[in-house]
A and B are shown apart, each in its own frame.
Chain A
Amino acid sequence: MNIADVIEKDLIKVPLESTDKLGIITELVDVLAKAKNYSAEQRKTVLDAVLKREELGSTGIGKGICIPHAKTNSVKAIRLVIGISRVSVDFGSPDGEKSRMFFLVLAPEDAASAHVELLASIARTCSSPLFRRLLEQAKQADEVYRLFMD
């Protein structure tokens, strides 16, 4: 399981409009809920799962990247939502740097292997400074999609 297996153009939003951590997470969940026609209850369960995970510790990993994630059976398959913000948002990353690139990863509870592989794939891909610069500068969802598929 890697990014190319799950990336979907309608699950990419550029730019994100929120300017704080809660807003960004909610906006990413809403992108998914809208694209997949989630019920209000489904949306809430997903959002709660992500926020509950966030309580354990920030998912800001530094270098401007955040990977909020959660296990929840409200999703039937692994979902990846990507958002790029024009404003830097404080996610409490260990390097103190504010974040502009966000990857929301959700997986059903019985898909641990695929979940771990996808998270590792994101971490690996974003370890390249050049890639991060290109991603941060992307102006549209199409551009983000092409960056991952080239």
Chain B
Amino acid sequence: MGVPFRTIVVYVDGSEGALSAIMYAILLAKQNQARLVAAAVVNTKALGELVRAGIFVDVEREEYQRDLQSDSERYLRHAERLAKQKDVPIETVKLEGTVNVEMMNLLKDRHADLFVLGGVSDVRSRREELASETDRMMRVAPCPVLVVRDDEDIWEAFESQGV
């Protein structure tokens, strides 16, 4: 673990909060000359829960699995495009499984010294807070965590800072 950061991992999930997080992580990686890794997780745990609960029939499970795969690939391609805009090298990783478990393993595997994530909404329900993947990721991360608020300032900073 080091300061300035050497390896930054950012979680992407297609939310606006995650977009802010990617931009922030790219700027941070550039400033620190850090290695940047963007990761998306195909949430097969949630898919499994839906099949077990009887909400999805088999044909739906297959269809949604394909959709989730292509969503993740799209998020990662977008991260690559943003990083390229700032001339920052980026490694993209697509994982499958339980989001918090997969992210924890990746952080350990890459010896990350900073985990950046967005998409943290206001706590409006204790019930949901306990089940939130973001909350779990923050709890289990083996390194410092930076939570990026979805803020126009970040978008402006990203647009204004030159290559």
On whether the beta carbons of A149 and B124 are closer than 8 Å, the reply is: yes
Known contacts: A61-B55, A110-B71, A112-B68. The answer to whether A120 contacts B50 by CB under 8 A is: yes
Residue A116 at the chain B interface, CB threshold 8 Å: yes
Known contacts: A113-B43, A116-B50, A123-B49. The answer to whether A4 contacts B71 by CB under 8 A is: no
Choice from A2, A56, A67, A123 contacting B132 with Cβ under 8 Å: A2
Contacts of A125 in B (CB 8 A): 127-128, 131
Q: Is the interface of B mostly helix, strand, loop or mixed?
A: helix
Distance in angstroms between the alpha carbons of A119 and B132 in the assembled complex: 13
- Total A-B pairs, Cβ < 8 A: 76
Of B59-67, B80-88, B149-157, which stretch is located at the interface? Answer: B59-67
Residue A73 at the chain B interface, CB threshold 8 Å: no
Residue B47 at the chain A interface, CB threshold 8 Å: yes
Known contacts: A94-B54, A120-B46, A120-B50. The answer to whether A112 contacts B64 by CB under 8 A is: yes
Choice from A62, A67, A116, A149 contacting B64 with Cβ under 8 Å: A116
Contacts of A57 in B (CB 8 A): 57
CB-contacts of B13-65 with A (<8 A): 13-15, 43, 46-47, 49-50, 53-57, 59-60, 64
On whether the beta carbons of B68 and A2 are closer than 8 Å, the reply is: no
CB-contacts of A58-82 with B (<8 A): 59, 61-62, 67, 69
On whether the beta carbons of B46 and A117 are closer than 8 Å, the reply is: yes
Distance in angstroms between the alpha carbons of A111 and B64 in the assembled complex: 10
Closest A residue, CB atoms, query B125: A4
Chain B residues within 8 Å of A, Cβ to Cβ: 13-15, 43, 46-47, 49-50, 53-57, 59-60, 64, 67-68, 70-72, 121, 124-128, 131-133
Complex A-B, nearest 10 residue pairs according to Cβ-Cβ distance, in ascending order: A112-B67, A120-B46, A4-B125, A123-B53, A57-B57, A2-B128, A4-B124, A61-B54, A4-B128, A120-B49
6 A-B residue pairs with Cβ-Cβ distance under 8 Å, sorted by A, are A3-B128, A61-B55, A116-B64, A121-B131, A124-B131, A149-B125
Chain A residues within 8 Å of B, Cβ to Cβ: 1-5, 53, 56-57, 59, 61-62, 67, 69, 94, 110-117, 119-121, 123-125, 148-150
